[in-house]
């Protein structure tokens, strides 16, 4: 049985990695500027001398795919953790208002430092590193607020959790609107594009800025993956087994918030990846979180790269934000899940 599960896991993850490779191939070769397959390989392997192709590949397509992949991985892992800890299949960082909190503080950051206007310089590199921290504070603040309002007499009430999430999201949404209308036109366009989850402005700095968050926090979460299995039991049993439940849950949630903030600071308002991927992977590999987590990460990466590819190709040459594509796919799925739950 266990052995079968492992084989299934390996099979599925290979399948999805392969699918990701297919989308990667489509994403790299198609676009406003088509690059033939042979040339694409040459450029990637560093054997091409065509400067135009090099520019398109290294400055536009690859960083964009890298950011999509990283954000997909991060959001999917965070979604799995949030669903696991709250034992609620409908929980998702974006529904719980964590994205909105991080978003508000990042828009505030953009407003205060107005870096979109400045040419590329050292300051910008440091601001890319600082932005996730800013987002983390906002996301944490939102999470604490939601927690405060949904815990009554020491018990976490799921319906309250979702409702307070909705309330907090709209509160932060109002604040974001207030701040963004105070910006000048150019900054506003940047902020608006960012808010709806558009990643076509991605560059290597963004990608490298996200990497440490995902590697370190993702590593901590993976190391604690087995705990998520125990958390599916009743609270009393979890404590009975000898797990410091509250402490471990807090650590896991903090890691998830950290990852979400790093993703949000780069990719903006992309919701529903954290909802979809854990569900899909649970269907594929069963209930063990040691399998679900990596599976979910791969599924998230696949979904976001695909969404980004769709976003850039449907209305060529004008691009849609990837976040919009994800919510147009994600919301019907969410409604479907809602219809299944009792």
Task: Kindly list the residues in this chain that would bind another protein in the complex (CB under 8 A).
Answer: 90, 149-150, 152, 157, 159-160, 162-164, 166-171, 173-175, 177-178, 180-182, 185, 188-189, 192-193, 196, 198, 271, 315, 318, 320-321, 323-324, 327-328, 331, 334-335, 338-339, 342
**CB 322 within 8 Å of CB 65:** no
Give the closest residue to 161 by CA, choosing from 262, 87, 261: 87
For residue 152, report the phi and psi dihedrals to the nearest 5 degrees: -125, 125
Q: Alpha-carbon distance 24 to 74, whole Å? A: 18
What is the dihedral sign for C-alpha 129, 133, 134, 136? positive
* Radius of gyration (C-alpha) of the chain in whole angstroms: 20
Alpha helices for 30-121 (secondary structure H): 37-44, 51-55, 62-86, 98-113
**CB 260 within 8 Å of CB 88:** no
Give the closest residue to 110 by CA, choosing from 227, 192, 166, 5: 192
Token pair belonging to 224? 């604690």
Give the closest residue to 77 by CA, choosing from 251, 298, 249, 266: 298
* β-strand partners of 156: 151
* β-strand partners of 155: 152
- Residue 306 Cβ, how far from another protein at the closest point, in Å? 17
- Residue 127 Cβ, how far from another protein at the closest point, in Å? 23
**CB 289 within 8 Å of CB 65:** no
**CB 69 within 8 Å of CB 305:** yes
Give the closest residue to 74 by CA, choosing from 199, 258, 330: 258
How distant, in Å, are the alpha carbons of 103, 160, 287 from that of 157? 25, 5, 23
């Amino acid at each position: 049985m266990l052995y079968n599960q492992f084989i299934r896991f390996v099979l599925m993850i290979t399948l999805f990695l392969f699918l990701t490779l297919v989308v990667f191939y489509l994403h790299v070769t198609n676009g406003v500027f088509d690059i033939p397959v042979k040339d694409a390989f040459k450029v990637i392997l560093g054997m091409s001398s065509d400067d135009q192709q090099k520019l398109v590949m290294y400055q536009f397509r690859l960083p964009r795919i890298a950011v999509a992949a990283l954000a997909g991985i991060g959001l999917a892992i965070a979604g799995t953790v949030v669903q696991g800890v709250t034992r609620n299949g409908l929980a998702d960082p974006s529904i719980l208002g964590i994205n909105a909190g991080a978003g508000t503080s990042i828009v505030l950051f953009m407003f205060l430092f107005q870096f979109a206007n400045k040419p590329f310089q050292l300051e910008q590199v440091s601001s890319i590193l600082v932005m996730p921290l800013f987002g983390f504070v906002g996301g944490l603040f939102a999470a604490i607020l939601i927690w405060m309002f949904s815990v009554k007499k020491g018990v976490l009430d799921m319906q309250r959790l979702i409702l307070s999430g909705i309330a907090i999201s709209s509160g932060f949404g109002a604040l974001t609107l207030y701040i963004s209308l105070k910006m000048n036109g150019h900054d506003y366009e940047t902020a608006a594009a960012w808010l709806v989850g558009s990643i076509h402005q991605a560059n290597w700095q963004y990608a490298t800025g996200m990497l440490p968050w995902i590697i370190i926090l993702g590593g901590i979460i993976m190391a604690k993956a087995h705990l998520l299995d125990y958390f599916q039991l009743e609270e009393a049993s979890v404590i009975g087994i000898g797990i410091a439940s509250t402490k471990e849950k807090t650590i896991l949630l903090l890691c998830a918030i950290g990852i979400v903030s790093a993703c949000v600071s780069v990719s903006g308002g992309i919701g529903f990846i954290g909802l979809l991927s854990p569900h899909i992977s649970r269907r594929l590999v069963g209930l063990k979180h040691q399998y679900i987590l990596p599976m979910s990460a791969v599924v998230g990466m696949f979904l976001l790269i695909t969404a980004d590819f769709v976003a850039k190709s449907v209305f060529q040459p004008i691009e849609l934000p990837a976040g919009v594509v994800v919510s147009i796919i994600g919301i019907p799925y969410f409604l479907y899940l809602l219809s299944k739950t009792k």
